[in-house]
Amino acid sequence: MKEMTKRFLSDAFAGESQAHMKYLILANLFRAIAKAEYVHAKNHFVALGHLGSMEQNLQAGIDGESFEIAEMYPVYLEAAKLQGEKEAVRSNHFALEAEKIHEKMYEKAKALVREGKDYTAAKVYICPVCGHTTEDGVPDKCPVCGVPGSKFIAFEA
């Protein structure tokens, strides 16, 4: 390799390496501050008295999901269709389908609480594209958006 080209590639490598490190540092900063903001929000939530018993919290989750399924997302979806907003149609469809699953999961957890049992799913899997949620293992591909199952994110108990 000629010396000038080698020097240019070395300079480019150094610049890209520095950018890589800078972005990792910034990402870490944003993740850390986001966690701190979560702690603040959680403390405010508790101070406002929004944290009830497990059964009350699950019922609040069920109520929220039910509203989104029956009222909110169907209206948002139809408005997006009417206005020809394809990305909004896609986004609202994805959310609506995930919320249906979330409602069932909350209902299952509430029934378990009433029986004095714990929710036993060792892992919950989330599709990173549409939010499809499953505790029955990862599908070959997401039934909502078609993303490969290998892309799903696992949350362990």
> Is there a single domain that holds both residue 57 and residue 112?
yes
Q: Which domain holds residue 150?
A: 121-157
The angle formed by the CA atoms of residues 5, 9 and 12, to the nearest 5 degrees, is 140
Percentage of residues in the chain having pLDDT higher than 90: 75
> Is there a single domain that holds both residue 72 and residue 33?
no
We report the CATH number of the domain holding residue 106 as 1.20.1260.10
- DSSP state at residue 141: B
> Is there a single domain that holds both residue 57 and residue 110?
yes
Report which of 69, 122, 117, 138 is spatially closest to residue 61, judged by C-alpha positions.
Answer: 69
> Is there a single domain that holds both residue 4 and residue 33?
yes
Q: Write down the pTM of the prediction.
A: 0.76
> Is there a single domain that holds both residue 31 and residue 41?
yes
pLDDT tens sequence across 76-131: 999 999 999 999 999 999 999 999 999 999 999 999 999 999 888 789 999 999 99
45 to each of 38, 76, 83, how far by Cα in Å? 10, 28, 37
Q: How many domains are contained in the chain?
A: 3
Residues 10, 15, 18, 20: is their CA dihedral positive or negative? negative
